Structure 1
Amino acid sequence: MGIFIDRVEWVDKSDKLDDLLRKAALVTTEPMEQGFEAEVIKINIEKESYVWKVWNKRSKPDIRFQFHLLNALYQQGVSVSKPVGWGIDANADHVLLTTFDGIPVHKLSDQKMTEMAKLLAHIHRIRVEELGNLRLPQHDFIDYFYPGVKEHADIYQAVTSLVPLIPIKQDCIIHGDFHLKNILEEQDRITVIDWTNAQIGDARYDFVWSLILMKLYIPERYAAVFRSAYLLEHPIQEKELAVFEALACLRWTLLNRYGGTPSGPDTIERLKSLVTHNPFLQECGFTDIPIKNRE
């Protein structure tokens, strides 16, 4: 993929981009791990590195919103990538240029899990009005997080029986997909990326979705550290936790049926254990889990 930062129609940009454009001929590139929605390239200009993300696949999110959200969060002291510019390339695809902030966390520790928990709690404490005129989207909870669920009667019945137990709030900023592949580390700093799903939503759901992913994919002790550290910052009642854990398990199962979740050697067994030990899933009769196992 050719990177031509001087051939993009830049819509919004920082002062830094003007400096980079003067050095466009010096750009070199390195491959990066690819996402489902966009192509991602690391670009280097002299001694500085950046991330070039181009949405040239099916997904067409609002990149203008992402640029301004990152800028607002950065100004609030949240550990996010600093946006450099966004625009439209020669293929009419949207491009976002940000600072390069490391690679996904691989080696876990109690300290890192605690830092992640505090970062998520920090995000949830930011008042929407602190972001100025930025308008965060609000979505129907079931329609957004359970796309096509009506085609899966067992999951739909369970979700619709659980949601009324704990009314969904829309009172804070949520990331929407806070997991290890969206958390980078460089030296002693961690950074959260990929704000495609950012919206006004329920902090309890945002936290529990992250927690369930950790319970499915990483050693239990580290998930437990993340859980404890977050709840010290942002207490949640046990009943609420259990209901949202049930909802998170249902969402993972739905996405798995669409082929949208990775599976490790014991992921499915972990999921089955979570379902078996969740009283709300047992009460609504969701015990049989037809899944798409791609181990």
Structure 2
Amino acid sequence: MLQHETTFQVIPLDSGLEAEVAKIVTSTADCVLKVWNRASKPDVQMQYQILNALHSHGRAVSKPLGWGTDREGNPVMLTSYDGRPVQNIDQLKLLKLAKILMDIHKLPLERLNGFNLPRYDFISYFYPRIEEFPDIQQPLMELVLRASMEQEYVIHGDYHLGNILENENELTVIDWTNVQMGDPRYDIGWSIILMWIYVREKRASFYRAAFCAENRFEADELELFEAIACLRWILLNRVDHPPVRNDTIARVRSILNSNKYLHSLLIEV
């Protein structure tokens, strides 16, 4: 880029808790530079490799352009620019979102070209400080045991609308910080719960049905993983402050009341 471009425009984008993000505009292409200059220091080489494998096999992810460190030693990665976070949701888009996630899970492991994705302990990775909250820990342990986790597939780890970009009707998945070998039913369950909490129950129900229609999952097993995912949101609400709107807590309580694996539990949201 430095060799072939004479002018650059750097535009700051909305950044999360982990990194600063900027759009770089040139005369030939736009791209995104992500700099992890805060507490999180992920393995960007691994992210680059998985993005390269997914992109080269037709999955809806950004094209990775480069990775490394800046002068302060912070991990950085350059990717294609793929639009802004999804705003309006209709049934057609929900079907597309479900298909994109299932296509990620279907990536053959031999396509990873010899590099190994990590396989973390599920509870310690997704439920930090869980031992401080026995009212969540006990039912979680029972549900995870019942679920018989199968950590044999590539999962995104945090699939929700904030990590989906849209540009001229094309959808692209970003933020691969939590990519790992995992159980696709958890990946799906987490995305359904966040759809329910931050969009609405009706959309979440249609979204869940899209996964069941593929004949890969039964509604009952997804409900089990939704229960596991809901307990994660409740934990994060106590330790990490996820977005909370006027009706957020009411929606979480509606999940607790309607999910057969959770309705009888006395858990404070």
Q: TM-score, normalised by structure 2?
A: 0.96
Q: Distance in 1 between matches of 2:230 and 2:263?
A: 12
Stretches of structure 2 that go unaligned for 5 or more consecutive residues are none
Moved over 6 A (4+): none
Q: Are 2:254 and 1:273 equivalent residues in the alignment?
A: yes
Call closer, same or farther: CA 1:131–1:234 in 2, change over 3 Å: farther
Structure number with greater Rg is 1
Superposed counterparts of 1:112-127, under 5 Å: 112-127=93-108
Q: Deviations over 1:138-192 (max 9, x none)?
A: 0111111111100111111111121111211111110000000100000021000
> Aligned match of 2:139 in 155, 158, 166?
158
With over 3 angstroms needed to count, the CA separation of the structure-2 counterparts of 1:226 and 1:242, relative to structure 1, is closer
**Aligned residue pair count:** 269
| Matched ranges for 1:248-287 at <5 A | 248-283=229-264, 286-287=265-266
The reply on whether 1:108 has 2:89 as its aligned counterpart is: yes
Match of residue 133 from structure 1 = 114
* RMSD, matched Cα: 1.4
Q: Quote the sequence identity (%).
A: 44
How far has the Cα of 1:24 moved from its partner?
5.5
Q: Do the aligned partners of 2:160 and 2:194 also contact (CA within 8 Å) in 1? A: yes
Instruction: Note the alpha carbon deviations across 1:30-78, whole angstroms, 9 max, x for none.
Output: 1211111110011111142110000100000100000111001001100
Who is 1:13 aligned against? none
C-alpha distance in structure 1 between counterparts of 2:42 and 2:193, whole Å: 25
Contact 1:136–1:199 (CA under 8 A) maintained in structure 2: yes
CA apart distance, 1:208: 0.6
Q: Which letter maps to 2:159? A: F
Deviation (angstroms), 1:128: 1.4
Name the TM-score, length of structure 1 as normaliser: 0.88
Does 2:233 correspond to 1:288? no
Distance 1:160 1:220 in 2: 26
- Secondary structure of the corresponding residue to residue 281 of structure 1: coil
1:6 corresponds to: none
Q: Which residue of 2 aligns with 1:231?
A: 212
Question: In structure 2, what is the Cα distance between the partners aligned to 1:65 and 1:277?
Answer: 39
Structure 1 portions without partners, runs of 5+: 1-19
CA displacement, residues 94-136 of structure 1 (integer Å, 9 cap, x when unaligned): 1100000000000111111111100001111112122221211
